[in-house]
Amino acid sequence: MELYVSAIAIWVLIYTLMATGLALQYGFTGLINFGVVGFVAIGAYGSGILSQHGVPVWLSIPAGAALAGLAAYPLGRVTLRLGGDYLAIVTLGFSETVRIFIIKEEWLTRGTHGMPGLPRIFEDWAGRSSGDLTLLVLLVAVNVVIFLLMRGLIRSPFGRILAAVRDNEVAAKALGKDTASFKTRALMIGSALCGLGGAFQAHYITFIGPEQYVPLMTFYVWIAIMIGGAVSIRGIVVGTVILIGFLEGSRFLRDVFGGISEVQLASVRFWLIGMALICTVLYRPQGLFGERTKGTN
């Protein structure tokens, strides 16, 4: 039971990193990124490939995150001068391009066979159960540091410019701000956080394959910030806890309602998630902890 609870907590913290990255892009800057899973995959494969070539995990994980952030740079420079709608379309296509690249470039990624045997964090000296507990503590520390940095960033002059770009980009341009540059930097930072979550995921489950990085992951991260509030650090955490709690808790519906197959249960789960999202958009569009007016908390 303890292992199960710690596993859920680890997944919550990994998804919280991804949700924080998306919240910076959408909630604090107004960027619509439908390619979250692409940056998660880059972080996971970047760290996984490096670790299999002898790079220590404590170096490969930040390297994977940095690679995801760098991958966002050309997307930002090309699309952000045109408008947010273009970014949404391009990032969606980008995530599928990444997945196809993973499948086709077998010399690098092993294609559909996946990459097994990735080193687990702390397992060499702490063992499986103690390693998970140590990883949980590390992820808590990483999330706390990220939250503190995020709070400082959104209260800094840079963060105030991002808020201005989100609220009225025309006015920000009139004040002489290079809005495309600021949006590109926000896109890169948020994508790096998504890549960081992907890198931790890769070394937690020790196996990565293209079937893991489908648009559904992007959908889950969006749900987390929509439920909790895209402009609330507290809301990001609560939204992610609700999402993972529901996904894991719904697995026990078969024990309550007999005769439900796995396929039927998956359909019911998606229906319930969709209804929850619709109700949130209709009755609490700012999220559980979001302000009714634009701002941060």
224: in domain? no
Cα separation, 61 vs 42, in Å, equals 11
Q: Which domain holds residue 51?
A: 2-214
277: in domain? no
79: in domain? yes
pLDDT band at 79 (very low <50, low <70, confident <90, very high): confident
Q: What's the predicted TM-score (pTM) here?
A: 0.90
- The residue among 208, 206, 16, 17 whose CA lies nearest residue 98 is 208
202: in domain? yes
- The amino acid sitting at 238 is V
Cα separation, 59 vs 39, in Å, equals 18
Q: What is the pLDDT of residues 3-27, one digit of tens each?
A: 788 889 999 999 999 999 999 999 9
Cα separation, 19 vs 234, in Å, equals 12
Average pLDDT, the chain: 87
113: in domain? yes
The number of domains in the chain is: 1
286: in domain? no
The two structure tokens encoding residue 196: 């960081």
- The residue among 91, 81, 272 whose CA lies nearest residue 183 is 81
250: in domain? no
276: in domain? no
Q: What is the pLDDT of residues 223-242, one digit of tens each?
A: 999 998 888 888 999 999 99
Q: Is 168 exposed, middle or buried (0-12, 13-18, 19+ CB in 10 A)?
A: exposed
